[in-house]
Amino acid sequence: MGGIEGCPACGRHTVADGARRRCLSCGHRTWALAVDLTRASPLDDVALKGALRSQRRAESSRLLDRLGPIERVIDVGCSTGDFLGVCRARGIEAVGVEPDPRVAALAREAGHEVYAGFFNDVAETIPEADAVVFNDVLEHIADAEGALVTAKGRLRAGGRIAVTLPNARGAFYRAAEALERAGVEGPMRRLWQADYPSPHVHYFTPSSLRILAARVELREVSFESRVAVAPDSVWARVRADRSASRLWAGAVWAGVRIGMPALRRLEGDISVHVFEAV
């Protein structure tokens, strides 16, 4: 193990844990992976979005229900605009922020208002909203604390911040840790999206995100833990990663399908938090 460093979530101690760092107090993980939006991705985004469309729309609707009555929302890291589309269908004014100009262009082609750039760079030009949403985004932002502060600054009075992200205490992460200890590194690299243009640089636990939110004077008002995958989308989801062999994809598919009853009883791989300003 390497030397002691401060945890970006709780400010206490982290130690080297292979290529990553792990907090001894809150369990937060970090990995200094580089963002390179020009890098070719092994992921077939079109296939993945098609496989997950119905699941994502249902999750987006549940999230909007959790946020309560809102008129305007900012979607940070909006990608091609799926969440924006759900908002539009419910009569909610929604704008997106997307750092990849090619993806931002696709969202605009779908009729959405999108600010191209990184959130902290363009936030001051975005009008205030009733909610700011990070859907599988905060774990990609090196300065996660700064992103929450920026989001808080774009809220109208009584506004809320929603954060959906993977959980380092979930079954998939724990299984990947066990495989890594046995010398199989692929699943852990896939969870961190280490070979993707925008990899994860954080892996939060529910506790570590709550601690970070409290540091910037945000209070949690709602929490949900859920399984990351739906049974009917497992095969398409695994095959969307073009770097995975058909044999490996089949093994993952079988393992997830067989283990789904157990997964539903374990701590969820996805955490959904809603915060409001203190």
3-state secondary structure of 174: helix
pTM: 0.89
- The CA distances from residue 252 to 176, 245, 257, in Å, are 12, 11, 8
Matching residue, tokens 């907090």: 23
User: What residue ranges define each of the domains in the chain, with the CATH number in brackets?
Assistant: 1-30 (no CATH), 37-277 (3.40.50.150)
Amino acid identity of residue 138, one-letter, is L
> What value does the mean pLDDT take over residues 151-156?
98
3-state secondary structure of 222: strand
List all residues 6 or more positions away from 142 whose beta carbon is below 8 Å from its beta carbon: 201
Beta strands 29-30; 113-116: pairing state: unpaired
Question: What is the reported pLDDT for 92?
Answer: 97
Is the model's pLDDT at 1 over the cut of 60?
no
3-state helix, strand, coil in the chain (%, to 5): 40, 25, 35
* Euclidean distance between CA atoms 269 and 229, whole angstroms: 9
232/82: higher pLDDT: 82
> What single-letter DSSP state applies at residue 128?
P
Question: What is the reported pLDDT for 245?
Answer: 73
